[in-house]
Structure 1
Amino acid sequence: MTAQLLGQHLGASRCAYAHVEADQDHFELFGDYNDGVPSIVGRYAFSDFGTVVRDLMRADRVYINHDVDHDPRTAGSDLSAYRATRIQSVVCVPLHRDGRFVAGMAVHQAQPRTWQEQEIRLVQSVVARCWESLERLRAEGALRDANQRLSLALAAGNLGDWSWDAATDQMTLSDVAARLYGLAPGSSWTRSAMRRLLHRDDREPARLAALWAAQTGGLYDIEYRVPRPDGQRWVAVQGKPTFARDGTLTGMIGVVRDITERRAADERARNETQMLELLNQTGAALAAELDIDTLLQRVTDAATQLTQARFGAFFYNGTDEQGEAYLLYALSGAPQAAFERFGHPRPTALFGPTFKGGPLIRSDDITQDPRYGQWGPHHGMPPGHLPVRSYLAVAVSSRTGEVFGGLFFGHPDVGVFDERAERLAMGIAGQAGIAIDNARLYADVQRASALKDEFLATLSHELRTPLSAILGWVHILRRKYPTPDADLRKGIDVIERNARAQTQLIEDLLDMSRITSGKLELQMQPLDPRAFVEAAVETIRPTAQVKGVGLQCVLDAAAGRVAGDPVRLQQVVWNLLSNAVKFTPRGGAVQVRMALVDGSIEIGVSDTGIGIRPELLSLIFDRFRQGDGSITRRFGGLGLGLAIVRQLVELHGGTVHARSAGEGAGSDFLVRLPAQTVSGAAVDLAHTVPTAASAELAGLRVLVVDDEADARELLQLLLTDYGAQVLLADGAEAALQAIAEQRPDVLVSDIGMPGVDGYELLRRARAQGAALPAIALTAFASADDRVRALRAGYRAHVAKPVEPAEIVATIVSAVGR
């Protein structure tokens, strides 16, 4: 309408009002007045009409062009936009607000026209008034929309709105708000009168909350109870105070909603949470207990306390000669003597079902319960019995349904137990059944573990003995035939390679056994950690190169020394590096670092591989765990590597931890070892490296005792080769006779011999007065076997299959040469 009036007044071809976009170039015409020219409603850019008009608009200056064909600013330039819109002359007036070009008014003429000053001022006046009118209309529309949205939101949220006039104390309530307070819609109430509708205990807190909001301008936010004829309701009220320009309080506006169901749900949730916390605490305590007696007492005590019973008892499921007695196993809240005069529970309709695994039984007053009182001779409770009125009983069963017994609870008052007590009793009974199952399973597992360890030790012994002969003969053949032909050399190589492979398999098998027993043999000595770290790195480097994984080593040369077994510590680093390379894809990187930190040698292995899920970080060092089954299938392995790492590190007095931000984020393993040294005396004789000088046994008489003829013959050939005079015995009796008659210089004896074993042989030899040094050469190769041999008096313990240089060096060390 404004554009039409202005256009007609000026006799213009077109008049249009434009909304300018944020780039202050593009604009949109939503309507225009036209006389003899087409409408140009749509979206345009000022720059399409030349940069002059765009720059003038941005500078808040009027653009006047009397004739685009003769105006030097447009003549000769691209006039396609003017031609398309039928503009020959134009006045364009910008409107700026807050320093920005936001709107404009344009008057067009299809012919050349000389615009007069008063015409231009008129356009400027109209554009300002047009902006104000449009803004007012937009504000009114926005207010209507906001009110509509508010009404919809209040209705959707079942919210009532209210207002309070501070001058009159009058409350204005919407229909929804009135109903929440139990009032008729449209009724008139003052705030003071409405306060009396609140629960007595909530009136003062509500008054103080409103006073605080009025004084501070803060939010009035409170929940309170409203007693109504149809029952009490909880409501939540929020409001905001309003003020005059001089700061005087004028009133308050706000909303109210019914939260009765939410409060009831919160209360139920709190009760459930409390109950679950109690059950979790009880379950954790029961899960950690593997002694049945202690377990059942804890179950009874916990259940008695949680159900708020005065007395509680656990009866095992058993019968006497008459078939109606149950064994009292645990009692809480009363001494055992309290039950002695009255015998055990009888298989009545009340007690019997519990021992058969029946459903939970609850009685508000057992003395009036026909399930109990109808049975003689004790109709009701007998005189002097524990004063039980309220009664609760629940069966305790295994996973397979076996009924272990029942939990029984009593209280001298009537109606003490409710549904919550039922749920707690059932929860604890379930936990108790699982805990009893676990205790039994633990005992079974312990027995099975012992049998497995015994089997592995026996299997290892039986495998080591023939391998010792095979490798020994390989050594003899190499010495006898230093330049064999090609076929013989190849045969010896194949035999040795496969025998050593079998030996390594045995070592792996024994490592598994040592892990399950928690014992690993260590040969401690002072070490520069760089040595075993670099050795592990060089061992894994070819694998990393083949896979295309970068391998970086950052070692602090001044870190210091550690006390440790170099082979085992290299195994630790190698295992970590092997895992890192295995689980890092091609193009990834693995880094090993070592430094002295807070008195500890820290060795870290990090990678950019597949990472570890957070829930698996606490499990990956467990035996036979490798993240999950899918990892094992994709990458192979038994999942023993990290378990071995942890055992070895802890035996060295250190710790190992794993970190990962999750799947795909790589992982970081950190080993900490105490920085210290040990004396050279700690090195085991069995691992002393022989030298050329020490490998001479000339003149020594060595007594070899073994029930295996192949083993005796092998040692005779080996030791004779080094110049020893070898005496042979196939058992303890022959050995004792040889010691007494031939006075050997050193004894080399097997341990696992039939009849009299190596331990008893040495004891008898010492009893005869023989003081010769003794060496145990045996297929029993565990750390326990070594300790036992040393405690029995053997100077050293050497495991089969034996390396010739090792047994020679051990003999030399034993006799002190």
Structure 2
Amino acid sequence: MLGLRSTQYGLAVLATTGAFLLRLGLDPVLGDRSPFLLFTLPILVTALSAGTRPALVAAVLGGLSGTYAFVPPNPSLRLVTPGDWLEVALFSITAALIIRVVNRRAALRAQHNQAVEELRTSEAIKAAILRGALDGIVTTTEDGRILAANPAFCRAFGFRAEDAVGRRLTDLLVVPAPSLLPGTSPERVVAALPGIRPDHRVEGEALRSDRSRFPAEIAMTFTRHQTHNQLTWFIRDVTERKAFEDALRRTTRQLTVVLENASESIFLLDEQGCCVYMNPSAESLTGFTLAEASGRSLHALIHHIGPDGSPCPEADCAIACASRGQTKRSGQEVLIRRNGDFVPVSYIASPIRDSSHAVIGAVIEIRDVTEERRRDALLDENRRQLLRQQQALETLHRLGITIAAELHPDRLVQTVVDAGVTLSGAQVGAFFYNATNDTGDHYVLYALAGAERSAFDRFGLPRATPLFGPTFRGDGVIRSSDILQDPRYGKNAPHAGMPEGHIPVRSYLSVPVASRDGNVIGALFFGHAEPDIFDEAAERAVIGLAAHAAIGLDNARLFEAVEKAKQTLEEKVRTRTQALEEINAELDAFSYTVSHDLRAPLRAVQTLASILLDDFGERLGETGRQYAERIVGAAQRMDDLVQGLLQYSRLARTDIQLQPISLRFVMEKVRQTLERNEELDDAVLDLSENLHTVYANPTILQQVLHNLVTNAIKYRHEERPARVKAWSELRNDRVVRIWIEDNGIGVAPDQLDKIFDVFYRAPGTMSRPGTGIGLAVVKKGTERMDGRCGVESRDGEGSRFWIELPTPN
């Protein structure tokens, strides 16, 4: 800034110096009379170039230079003429005018620059407003041709800005001519769109570039110029608003339908608690119409007085409190109708708040609970009856358990009669067997409750009278609220009713007790001195009790019969047991005979035949040796058969003990036995690592597994080496299945269910050694250990025998 000012003031000095030099150069020509106003040139140049202050400096310097030039150095000024002073005065005036004019010009230039800047700012703001406006804004000529359009207009109508310019806006708007917009406009556009007038909004439709329509709100304003007028249009897409208004109308219609058809009474109150709206149900409940109740206090209409005639203060009214800003309330009240009738209701009073949470009214929902209270009362009564029935059922259930467990008839029927008195509310109860006395005309009293047996001693027992007879015949239940009024009462001569001194009975209930075969065992009788004691629930309870009694008596009779049968059966069992013991003794003797007396001759025959072959074989000849060899083989087979029969017999009769035992331990013992007896030959016995522990008898299990392995080796296939695999698997946490698999000749499908039978040998195996007892021993031994066995096989492809035994668990 300081350098700029130095340059401006230097300009003033330089311009003044130039004018002074010019003055000196003109003096010879003008005769030392150059014009004094020559020094106004530096002032004008400096003012135009540097501003007011440098021009003042130039004026001062010019004045000094001019005075020096026009007034030569002379101690006395008397030689200066008046013309000289006139030029100095003119110079001063001219300098002042120049400075003033230049200063004014600078001020005007500054104002112009400020106006230009403000115009630019205004245009920028206008452009920003147009770009950001949500409404479409478009400027047109008077005849409706578009001059400019903002982005919102282009988006709404589907045009680019350059495509929109030049189009007629009137071709894109469809505006009806509403009768509520009077007045006309001189402009041609207004004439084309009669519904529009300046500064007034109307609704119509607009056409997009694809000719689709959308609802629009349209406004227009004039901008007047000296040479022409412009129109500015504001177009808003109101599709969403229209949809919202349509939804609001639908909701309003739906709400109106709901309110008009609601079964509950609905009131709308203002902040003073006065009725603003009430639906038809509310009119029906109160007896007032909406016109009559509108503007009146709802409390004063229907809640100003209680059923007892006492006033109900509005301050205590929960319904009125909702309009005063209190919280939502619900409960029950008693309201008064227009005709003075009181009606019990339930209510919900909810205050209505505006956006600032200020209470502006309340909604009251009221429901007539008269019928509901009647139903509740009936429900309570039914609930009490159900409770009594439940208690009765629980009592019957407990009695049923007790009766079912009681096998003594005397105690059983006494329990039944005591329970019947409790369940029915009777004062006295009795059970009579359906069995007559020695004379055949009186029923036998068996149990009594509520009175001493002596009270009946001096009265006769009941007979088959019109009152008692149907019960003992099983015709049905007799229940009388007052037996004295029953037409069947008093028909038994000579008493013609209850004899004098008899326990008084008015309420009467009798139920037959019938067994499952339909025969009437007896009857239950209950009585009370007051009438109307026994109701339907008491009757049902006693009927249920009679059913339990019938079951109990049947059970008691069955128990008695079972006891007799038991005694007979025990006697038969003792006789059979003795016979079996004798048979077992004979079998033991027979087994001893077979094992010793029968096997001894066989051993002798076998031994002698072997000696005959060894010592006299050459003398016997070929035929003799064959006969001797056949004798030895037959004796050996007979001995094997006897041993097998002994094994099978011992398995069936011997007591065994089961214990946890390792399958690997047993299978190793089987391998050792086979190797010791040279039964393996070239066969391979493959034991899996997966061998479990089972719950079995060690000796029998070893025999069973030995028989299965030797059976697999015995029936090997001739074309392949024998191979036997053994493994086990858990079927579940209680059963282990043991598998013995071979690659032998297999078993035909039709033979699978026969090979475990005693002495059975499959066709085609008679040439192989065996007695047909080995697999029978397997089956019997497995069953004795609480297991089972089976086989899976294909003829010619080998077999998989399995046995299942319990786990130690």
Scaled by the length of structure 1, what TM-score is found? 0.42
Larger RCO: 1 or 2 (CA < 8 Å, sep 6+): 1
Structure with the higher helix share, 1 or 2? 2
Q: Greater CA radius of gyration, 1 or 2?
A: 2
Scaled by the length of structure 2, what TM-score is found? 0.42
